[in-house]
Copies of this chain bind each other. A is one copy, B any other.
């Protein structure tokens, strides 16, 4: 069944590290494999590129996300491509890895069947407790590392939140990804000084004093700051 068949053209797959924040934790979407090799093992969401269906690698990523959680990712970004003869017993295999940032509430795992095959796994450090197929654990770890460093100078965490949010919620998203507290004043100065956000005029009345609700002025382009946040001296 899994006899090494070398001298084949490389296989082309796309896998996605789909991240969300649930229960104040960073979580990644994983799915049970239904085919050999690693049948029944958890893995990142992905598939072989189907040139009949997918017009691009990004479409493969979005297709597999829709197949597992029913929605496209609002933010999808290519992480890197792994390709070698070791990662798949069947021969040279490439996987282009994307990461997707998703607001948890936008996802509803529909049938019970899907719920058994697809789930969110909590990330601790760089990994999850489930054993992943192929080199997916290593890929996940590298991808989390990349995102952690990127968060220090970008606005990536907004894509883990709904379209409108409070500054505290946004700060918490940063803190959960970085696994580190940020100074509230520094955070306000940075976010409000960059002219990225506008007040909706609404207030969020959850805790005590209501918080101003903001939304991105330009949701399509992540902002790059020229200095890092959260590094201390």
Residues of A in contact with B (beta carbons under 8 Å apart): 6-12, 49, 51-52, 54-57, 78, 80-86, 91-92, 94, 96, 149, 152, 224, 226-228, 231
Contacts and interface: CB of A to CB of B under 8 A. Distances in A.
Given A49-B83, A55-B84, A81-B81, A9 B11 contact: yes
Contacts of A55: 84-86
A91 B152 CA distance: 40
Number of copies: 2
Contact of A56 (B57, B80, B85): B85
Contacts of A56: 83-85
Contact of A92 (B11, B51, B228): B51
A94 B92 contact: no
B94 A57 contact: yes
A226 B92 CA distance: 38
Residue with the highest number of chain B CB atoms closer than 10 Å, among A52, A83, A84: A83
A152 B91 CA distance: 40
**A-B pairs, 5 with minimum CB distance:** A56-B84, A57-B83, A51-B92, A226-B228, A81-B81
A155 to B, nearest CB: 16
Contact of A83 (B8, B96, B152): B96
A152 B84 CA distance: 32
Contacts of A8: 51
Nearest to A233: B226
Nearest to A97: B81
